[in-house]
Chain A
Amino acid sequence: MKTVTGLPQAGRYLARSLAQSLRLMVGLPDYDVYLSHMARTHPGLAPMSYEAFFQERLEARYGGGKGRCC
């Protein structure tokens, strides 16, 4: 986990977490995390562009026919 020091940094961390939360609520994980994952584990492969990543996640969330809660 990141260590948070100072107010500006705490604010930045909060804003980033909030943006990540809102995106993940509609099924879109963090693109930067995906990029760093690809760079770390599959350095030979070209990662998807943001647009392709967005499309892929959209199909994965809604295409499989997952239910929604009541």
Chain B
Amino acid sequence: MHSIRRHLVWLVVAVIGAFALGTVALARGESINALWVVVAALCTYLIAYRYYSLFIADTVLGLDGKRKTPAHRHNDGLDYVPTDKNVLFGHHFAAIAGAGPLVGPVLAAQMGYLPGLLWILAGVVFAGAVQDFIVLFISTRRDGRSLGDLIKQEMGVVPGMIALFGTFMIMIIILAVLALIVVKALAESPWGTFTVAATIPVAVFMGVYLRYIRPGRIGEVSVIGFVLLMLAIFGGQAVSQSATWAPMFTFDGKALTWMLVGYGFIAASLPVWLLLAPRDYLSTFLKIGTIIALAIGILFVAPTLQMPAITQFAQGNGPVWSGNLFPFLFITIACGAVSGFHALISSGTTPKMLDNERHARFIGYGGMLAESFVAVMALVAAACIDPGVYFAMNSPAALVGTTPEAVAQTISGWGFSITPDVLVQTAKDVGETTILGRVGGAPTLAVGMAHILHQVVGGQAMMAFWYHFAILFEALFILTAVDAGTRAGRFMLQDLLGSFVPAMKRTDSMAANLIATFLCVAAWGYFLYQGVVDPLGGINTLWPLFGISNQMLAAVALLLGTVVLFRMKRDRYAWVTMAPAAWLLLCTLTAGWQKIFSPDPKVGFLSHAAKYADGIAQNVLIAPAKTPEAMSRIVFNDRLDAALCALFMFVVLSVLVYSIRSVLAARASGHPTVRETPFEPMPVSVAS
């Protein structure tokens, strides 16, 4: 009786969730309220957490609360500190949530909100949260080692090296695609450009303040920085309305690209306390604050979803990105459903601070559920704006035209009726000259957030403020990621090159550092420039590459989990990681294959290259290329992207082969072959 009553409340949650999900899925023709989506998501998370994560914790992994964690074993008060689980949850969540869960769902909304929502929910429950949880567990049982080390230890040195190299290439693509989002948001926008540029002197001031004036007073300097940022937004408005100042902050995409590349090089070479650290404080706190504000806004405003549940683009051929629902939806929404990059965080600082092994469930599985909710909110924000506005912002000019009249006509022809006046008025509302062709997801999200938040604070007059606040918030942590990522890439590259040229390994050598930084910036800068001049908007090329590589890293992490489960002799539960790993391998390898070999030039790199190569051979110019040189550049870039895609496929396939070998060896052995740090009991004072 007692045990039934214990499950009764969860049964109620399940019924409410099922009802909400049914309402969302079966609504046809009429618009539904966003709260149905929120309720469906929250109930799914609660049930998954209560039952599936408990099953993984107790039965699959056998978490042991009496086992000493690295935080207790190596307690030094610095890196290894037993930490309250709620406090550590905040740390972990802040480390995993970035631009990814905000952008992917916005791009996926072109198929309607339903396919994206279902994938976010199913993906996080069975793949994403499982990956984060299991990697955190594996790393905690091995003194908090990193993913690369864990793969080396459990599978061998060669797959470890391959995975590290793959991680480096993924980093380059991520930096390029993030920088592209900033470029697309700031192009021809003096308000946005001024505001984002102003964050540099603000951060430098904070850095000097923290080092020399009031050392270490993070709270107080963050408040000062926040006030200055808000002033920068209003300053940007004044700049955009001034006839003398506005042109000085108006740049096209190419100019912004060069500035960003220069910025990346300088920022990654400066001492960390001057620019990187203080801006990281601002971007972290702003990120957490904005996510909470958006959640409150959605609950308070309860917006109606304007986007249909499913659009005709679910059949493929969408304007935002090309390709069919399978496999491309599953790589377009990476973060929020499942993200390989989290494996690096779950094997980074978090396992060194776990007070008790059993907390891994709340922090690993629960943390990823929280990020998934951020993705759901981004999807809601994108789906609650007028679909005509959504497609006008996200369709490349080559497809829909460049004037409001042409764009409105094309998009109305697709069945999303919109007038040129609405497009012009929306731009005016958010304080911009145009919203056309603002691809990349961030500006769309900003319009959606402004649409929600201005109904809570400020009314119509504050719409432009909220739009630029959202742009600032995204640009701020993207710039932090560009800066930190360039540094991380530099260290990886120095490590890698150091194997051939020992002098490159010396991180105390100015020349070696500058060369490695330059190579790193040049690598992502190349892909960024290619994306900016891409006639189809760049996102169409770079986002799938990012999605494929990120999901492949997730597959690698889940394969590691599978190997560990077999080595623990828990063969009968290995499906917990094998099933999501198989699904991700299927999606990413199919997507990779199609990106290389699809005969549709909008999808396949090689057929696109062939189209332009034929043009060169026959001396015909193919729009939008204006010169034969531009055409050969397109051909070269297409082939480069195809090669990169093939490289990613090689990385994941070779890790798969090594995993199978390790699993077979583990099965052949009669006893567990897992290599954990030997068991030590928790000290009596903390065992509870």
Contact = CB atoms under 8 A, between A and B. Distances in A.
Most chain B beta-carbon contacts within 10 A, residue among A51, A56, A63, A69: A69
A25 B484 contact: no
Most chain B beta-carbon contacts within 10 A, residue among A26, A37, A56: A26
Interface in B252-285: 272-273, 276-277, 280-281, 284-285
A54 B98 CA distance: 25
B216 A21 contact: no
B9 interface: no
Majority SS at the chain A contact face: helix
Given A66-B348, A69-B342, A21 B87 contact: yes
Given A17-B84, A62-B272, A62-B277, A70 B100 contact: yes
Nearest to B216: A54
Nearest to B146: A66
Contacts of A20: 84, 87
Contacts of A53: 216
B78 A60 contact: yes
A28 B348 CA distance: 15
B215 A54 contact: yes
Most chain A beta-carbon contacts within 10 A, residue among B78, B96, B100, B178: B78
Contact of B487 (A21, A26, A38, A65): A65
Interface string A28-70: 1110011101100100000000110111111111111111111
Contacts of A58: 272-273, 277
Given A23-B218, A25-B91, A62-B277, A70 B488 contact: no
A15 to B, nearest CB: 12
B688 interface: yes
Interface string A1-23: 10000000000000001011111
Contacts of B480: 68
Majority SS at the chain B contact face: helix
B648 to A, nearest CB: 16
Given A68-B485, A69-B342, A21 B86 contact: yes
B608 interface: no
B95 interface: yes
B642 interface: no
A69 B345 contact: yes
Contact of A68 (B88, B353, B484): B484
B108 to A, nearest CB: 15
B601 to A, nearest CB: 28
A51 B97 contact: no
A58 B278 CA distance: 10
A22 B90 contact: yes
Nearest to A57: B78
Contacts of A19: 219
A51 B216 CA distance: 6
Interface in B476-524: 480-481, 484-485, 487-492
B325 interface: no
A38 B339 contact: no
A19 B490 CA distance: 33
Nearest to B101: A70
B79 interface: yes
Interface in B84-124: 84, 86-91, 94-100
Interface residues of A, number: 40
B78 A29 contact: yes
Contacts of A22: 90, 219, 285
B84 A70 contact: no
A29 B81 contact: yes
Given A50-B216, A58-B277, A69-B341, A29 B77 contact: yes
Given A17-B84, A24-B91, A34-B77, A63 B218 contact: no
A70 B491 contact: no
Nearest to A27: B349
A66 to B, nearest CB: 6
Contacts of B98: 68-70
Given A68-B484, A70-B178, A70-B339, A25 B94 contact: yes
B78 A65 contact: no
Nearest to B93: A25
Nearest to A28: B218
A30 B88 CA distance: 12
Most chain A beta-carbon contacts within 10 A, residue among B87, B342, B490: B87
B90 A65 contact: no
Contacts of B581: none
B75 interface: yes
16 contacts: A17-B87, A24-B83, A25-B95, A26-B277, A27-B349, A29-B83, A53-B216, A54-B215, A55-B216, A63-B272, A67-B341, A68-B98, A69-B96, A69-B344, A70-B335, A70-B481
- Which 8 pairs across A and B sit closest by C-beta, in order of nearness? A65-B491, A54-B216, A21-B90, A37-B77, A34-B77, A70-B100, A62-B272, A25-B94
Interface of A: 1, 17, 19-30, 33-35, 37-38, 41, 50-51, 53-70
Given A26-B94, A29-B353, A62-B487, 4 more contacts: A30-B81, A55-B215, A67-B485, A69-B344
